[in-house]
Structure 1
Amino acid sequence: MSRPVVAGVDGSPESLAAAEWAAREAVRRDLPLHLVHAFDRGPDRTPSAAADAVRRHLGRGILRRAEDRIARTCPTARLTDEQVEGPTAVALSHAAQNAELLVLGSRGLSGFTGFLVGSVAQSLVARATLPVVLVEAGERSEDEHLADEDGNPSLLTPYRDVVLGIDVRDPCDAVVEFAFETARLRGATLHAVHAWDNSSAVALGPGAPGIGEGPRREEEWRGFLTAVLRNWRDKYPGVEVAETVVKGRAGPRLVRAAAGAGLLVVGRRVRETRLGPHTGPVTNTVIHHARCPVAAVAHD
């Protein structure tokens, strides 16, 4: 059985845009799309059959609006849906545990506005073990494509770049493969970006040459990036690859590199802190500031 693309919907403009994005991605991947609406009684509410019936009725309306919108904009998507009960982040995470990826509105889930600590979207990015894609309100299918010669939105132009944020000191196959596969499905250019600063270092082993100083350093990093991507270029010969090495903090540099991109892909190391799951500084920066959809891919 195919692993679906799962989209969480709550009726907000962000979640509807996310559902549309998920539908297009499901069609590109030849996968079914599963819409999920989660409702939560809250910790202090006594179970009530009447109240639950109202919640389910409202949830059914939310799902129907999303389905109607997808039927108009992406009629070839294979749709299923369900309602789940419980704390929203936990319920959506459970519903997506066998999914290929989870797609969410970047704001608006369960009334939250923005990525505040404890918000549903950020909690899911921090906890999920599958790729999570965040989509802003207003994202349309033509936004995935370059503008036409007159600067107008178009569905007939090539796809915008898929930007991959990669740390060549510790590259993760799952993150790189997700980016290459996404670019392949779109026929898009993959733009791999590695950011470095003067504190960056690479452990090459005893007796191995170190990173150069001054002007040599950037060229050294460029060589590492090319080496890391070489096998992936061979595996995906049809994907055009652009490589950029830039000095500076990774988060802001990736936000800048993704201006005008169709998707930004970053890795998120699965880790726990004393305060619970943590997204990491780079992922945290891009999900706050990138203006295109962001895919956070979990890895060990």
Structure 2
Amino acid sequence: MKHHVTVGIDGSRESLAAARWGAGEAALREVPLRLVHAVDWPVRPAVPGLGREGADRWADEALTEALEDVRSRHPQLEATIRCLSGRPAAALAAEAADAGLLVLGSRGLGGLAGFLVGSVAMSTLAATDTPVTLVRATGRPRNAESAGYGEIVVGVDIHEAGDRVLSFAFEEAARRGCTLRAVHGWKLPAAYEYVPFFDPDNERDIGLSVTQMLDDMLLPWRHKFPSVNVISRAFMGPAGRHLVQSSADADLVVIGRHQRRSPLGAHLGPVAHAVLHHAAVPVAVITHG
């Protein structure tokens, strides 16, 4: 059975952008699209001042508007809507359990877009193993509306088992027929801070070693996806900054994260936070496992 693409809808510009991007992705994958809205009653609805009946009607209108929009762009796409009950993060995570991808809107700098509260997207990330793509309401979603595709950038951690991250990135690049840029950021071991006379050759040797480790990690995936043009580079410095810089002309950034749940919220790590807050393109977040 083919996995569908699920998109969270809350009536905002961000969620409409997510619906358009998700529709393009569903069309690429040749799978159904499901648009969902989560209502946590009697908690305050997404639009203040609405009663239960008004909130339900507003949710139906928001879903219908998004459905009509994506159908006008993808008339052959199988698309449905669904209203969920319960706390949005938990409801979205449960809905995503049998989906191949969950797509949510992102407000960018200052935080991620919520559905009822601002923390919903972050909480959803912490609650699901399903790949999640966050989309901003900026520009035109090229994967849905143009004949060509820009490159995909993937952040590679050579110290982690990155099979899920690389599998997702290579599959996306193969679908689009586009270049995949693999980026790894590294830094000198802490012990070098205490070396009074640092030999620059050591930095060069470490850089060559890291580059070789990156190439070795990518090699089996190059063989598995021979049609994908892969460009790889290891940078010395913060990985998040290099990923954001590398994504300037990309269509999608793919990053990994550890699956750690906590009552205090999602633990995404500094790299994921930097990319989610500063990358202007959609960001796919994949759990390492």
Say yes or no: TM over 0.5: yes
| Paired-residue identity, % | 39
Whole-angstrom distance in 1 between the partners of 2:105 and 2:12: 8
Q: 1:42 to 1:289 in 2, by over 3 A?
A: farther
Aligned partners of 2:276 and 2:105: how far apart in 1?
Answer: 11
Q: Which residue of 2 aligns with 1:176?
A: 166
What is the match of residue 61 of structure 2?
A: 61
Alpha-carbon distance, 1:200 to partner: 7.9
Which amino acid in 2 is paired with 1:169?
A: H
Distance 1:259 1:200, change over 3 A: farther
* C-alpha separation in 1, matches of 2:238 and 2:116: 32
Alignment of 1:253-292 (within 5 A): 253-273=242-262, 275-292=264-281
Separation of aligned partners in 1, 2:26 and 2:44: 38
The structural deviation recorded for 1:52 is 3.2
Deviation at 1:263, TM superposition (A): 0.3
Matched residue, 1:72 = 72
Tell me what 1:298 maps to.
287
Paired residue for 1:109, among 102, 108, 114?
114
Please state how far the C-alpha of 1:111 moved relative to its aligned partner.
5.9
- Which range moved further: 122-131 or 222-231? 122-131
What whole-Å deviation, never above 9, does each CA across 1:118-172 have from its counterpart, x for those lacking one?
A: 6111111222211000000134233x49xxxxxxxx824x311110100112231
Checking the alignment, whether the CA contact within 8 Å between 2:67 and 2:80 is kept in structure 1 is: no
| Paired letter, 1:83 | C
8 Å contact kept, 1:265–1:295: yes
1:12·1:109 contact (CA, 8 Å) conserved in 2? no
**In the alignment, which residue of structure 1 is the partner of 2:127?**
127
RMSD: 2.2
- Paired letter, 2:203: G
Corresponding pairs, count: 271
1-side partners of 2:243 and 2:14: how far apart?
Answer: 23
CA shift in 2, pair 1:44/1:274, >3 Å: closer
Pair 1:140–1:224, CA change in 2 (3 A): same
Amino acid across the alignment from 2:180 = L
Asked whether the equivalents of residues 258 and 290 of structure 1 are also in contact (C-alpha less than 8 Å), the reply is: yes
- The question of 1:87 aligning with 2:87 is answered yes
Q: Indicate how the Cα distance of structure 1 residues 62 and 193 shifts in structure 2: closer, same or farther if over 3 A, else same.
A: same
Is the Cα contact below 8 Å between 2:247 and 2:279 reproduced in 1?
yes
TM-score by length of 1: 0.84
> What stretches of structure 1 of length at least 5 have no aligned partner?
113-117, 146-153, 202-211
Q: 1:68 offset after TM fit, Å?
A: 1.1
**DSSP-derived class of the 2:34 partner:** strand
Q: Secondary structure at the match of 1:167?
A: coil
Instruction: Give the match's secondary structure for 1:35.
Output: strand
CA contact under 8 A between 2:125 and 2:266: conserved in structure 1? Answer: no
CA contact (8 A) 2:10 2:115 kept: yes
Distance 2:161 2:140 in 1: 31
2:210 corresponds to 1:221: yes
Which of the numbers 129, 134, 146 marks the counterpart of 1:155? Answer: 146
Q: Is the Cα contact below 8 Å between 1:39 and 1:88 reproduced in 2? A: yes
